[in-house]
Chains A and B, each alone.
Chain A
Amino acid sequence: MKQLFFLGLILSSLISKGQSDFVDEILEYYASTYSDESDLSLFANDLYDLAKHPMNLNDTNRMDLLQLRFLSTEEIENILLHIQKNGPLINHLELQVCQIPKFKIEWMQQLTVCKPRFELSGTQSKTSHVLVFTYQNRHPTSAGFKEKPSKYSGNSSRMIFRYRGSLGKHIKWNYTGEKDAGEAFKPKRAGFDLHSANVVYTGFGRCKKLIIGDYRMGFGQGLNIGSGLMNGKSSLTTNVYGMATGIKAYRSLDENLFMRGLATEWHFKNVNLDVWFNRKKVDANLAQDSLSNATYFTSRQTSGLHRTKNEIADKNSMQINEVGIHGKWTISGLTIGAMAYRNQTEFAKIERDKFGRVTVLPKSYQQLGIYVKKNVRNGILFSEVGSSFNQEIAMIFGGLWKLSKEFSIATVYRVLPSKFNSLHTSSFTESSRGNNEKGLYLGLQYKLKRGWSLSAYCDTYLFPDLSFNSSGPVNGNDYLLELRKRISRHDTYYIRLKNESKTIYGNTVENEDSRNWLETSSIRNHLSLQLSRRLKTNSRLEFNWQKIGNTLTFASMFYQDFGLDIPEKKLKIKLRFVVCSVPDYGNRFYTYENDVSYAYSVPALSASQTRTYALFQYRFSRQLDMWLKLALDYKSDGKDFGSGLDSVSSPYRSDIKVQIRWHI
Chain B
Amino acid sequence: MGLAYCLIFSAEIQVFAQHEPSVIGSISNSLAQINTSQKGAWSAYNQTTEMVTDTAWQFGCYFGNPYLLSNYRTYGISMIHAQKNMAFGACLIQSGYSVYNQLSSVFAVALKLSTKLNLGTAIHVTQTRIKGLETKHHPNIVLDAKLYVTAKNTCYIRLFNPIINTKEYGYLANYIATLQHKITNKTNLYLQADIASENSGSVKTGISHFVNDKFQLRMGVGTKPHVISFGFGMRLNQTCFHFASFYHASLGFTPSCSAEFVKP
Interface positions of A (Cβ within 8 A of B)? 403-404, 406-407, 409, 411, 413, 438-440, 442, 444, 446, 458, 460-462, 473, 475-477, 479, 501
Contacts and interface: CB of A to CB of B under 8 A. Distances in A.
B207 A444 contact: yes
B221 A458 contact: yes
A644 B222 CA distance: 44
A442 B249 contact: no
Contacts of B221: 442, 458, 479
A407 B184 CA distance: 11
Given A409-B219, A476-B249, A460 B211 contact: no
Interface of B: 183-184, 186-187, 207, 209, 211, 217, 219, 221, 223, 226-228, 230, 247-250
A460 B187 contact: no
Given A460-B247, A460-B248, A460-B249, A411 B230 contact: yes
B228 A442 contact: yes
16 contacts: A404-B186, A404-B209, A439-B249, A440-B249, A442-B228, A442-B230, A444-B219, A446-B183, A458-B221, A458-B228, A460-B227, A460-B248, A462-B250, A475-B250, A476-B249, A477-B226
A473 B219 contact: no
A442 B248 contact: no
Contacts of B248: 460
A404 to B, nearest CB: 7
A240 to B, nearest CB: 14
Contact of A477 (B184, B187, B249): B249
Contacts of A406: 184
Contacts of B227: 460
A403 B230 contact: no
A442 to B, nearest CB: 5
B246 to A, nearest CB: 10
Given A439-B249, A442-B219, A462-B249, A407 B209 contact: yes
Contacts, number: 46
A648 B211 CA distance: 59
Nearest to A457: B221
Contacts of B207: 444
Given A458-B228, A460-B228, A477-B226, A407 B187 contact: yes
Contact of B249 (A404, A438, A479): A438
| B interface, over-half SS | strand
Q: Identify the 10 closest CB pairs spanning chains A and B, nearest first.
A: A462-B249, A477-B226, A460-B249, A440-B247, A458-B221, A442-B228, A460-B226, A440-B228, A475-B249, A403-B211
| A interface, over-half SS | strand
Given A411-B230, A458-B221, A473 B250 contact: yes
Contacts of B209: 403-404, 407
Contacts of B249: 438-440, 460-462, 475-477
A501 B249 CA distance: 13
Contacts of B228: 440, 442, 458, 460
A29 to B, nearest CB: 26
A409 to B, nearest CB: 7
Nearest to A473: B250
Nearest to B186: A404
Nearest to B219: A442
A626 to B, nearest CB: 50
A344 to B, nearest CB: 36
B102 to A, nearest CB: 27
A479 B223 CA distance: 11
Contacts of A473: 250
A440 B187 CA distance: 23
For A413, A439, A442, the residue with the greatest tally of chain B CB atoms inside 10 Å of its CB is A442
A462 B247 CA distance: 12
Contacts of B217: 403, 409
A461 B247 CA distance: 10
Contacts of A438: 249
A500 to B, nearest CB: 12
Given A446-B183, A460-B227, 5 more contacts: A407-B187, A440-B228, A440-B249, A458-B228, A477-B249
Nearest to A462: B249
Nearest to A479: B221
Contacts of B250: 462, 473, 475
B202 to A, nearest CB: 13
B33 to A, nearest CB: 15
Contacts of B226: 460, 477, 501
Contacts of B247: 413, 440, 460
Contacts of A407: 187, 209
A440 B223 CA distance: 15
Contacts of B223: 477
Contacts of A411: 230
B230 to A, nearest CB: 7
A409 B228 CA distance: 14
Nearest to A476: B249
For A438, A444, A460, A475, the residue with the greatest tally of chain B CB atoms inside 10 Å of its CB is A460
A438 B227 CA distance: 14
Nearest to A444: B207
A444 B248 CA distance: 19
A380 B217 CA distance: 16
A403 B217 CA distance: 9
A407 B208 CA distance: 11
Contacts of A476: 249
B227 to A, nearest CB: 7
Contacts of B211: 403-404
A383 B218 CA distance: 22
Nearest to B227: A460
A458 B219 CA distance: 11
Contacts of B187: 407, 446
A442 B219 CA distance: 8
A445 to B, nearest CB: 12
Nearest to A501: B226
A477 B221 CA distance: 11
A479 B226 CA distance: 11
B252 to A, nearest CB: 9
For B187, B207, B249, B250, the residue with the greatest tally of chain A CB atoms inside 10 Å of its CB is B249
A438 B211 CA distance: 30
Contacts of A446: 183, 187
A299 to B, nearest CB: 29
Contacts of A461: 249
B68 to A, nearest CB: 14
Contacts of A479: 221
Nearest to A449: B184
A442 B245 CA distance: 13
Nearest to A378: B211
B97 to A, nearest CB: 24
Nearest to B245: A440
For A444, A446, A476, the residue with the greatest tally of chain B CB atoms inside 10 Å of its CB is A446
A504 B207 CA distance: 32
Contacts of A460: 226-228, 247-249
A57 B217 CA distance: 35
A51 B183 CA distance: 41
Nearest to A463: B249
A649 B189 CA distance: 54
A379 to B, nearest CB: 10
Nearest to A411: B230
A479 B249 CA distance: 14
A439 to B, nearest CB: 6
Nearest to B229: A442
A413 B228 CA distance: 11
B181 to A, nearest CB: 12
B125 to A, nearest CB: 35
A433 B219 CA distance: 29
B229 to A, nearest CB: 9
A407 B247 CA distance: 23
A476 B249 CA distance: 8
A444 B228 CA distance: 13
Contacts of B219: 409, 442, 444
Contacts of A462: 249-250
B41 to A, nearest CB: 26
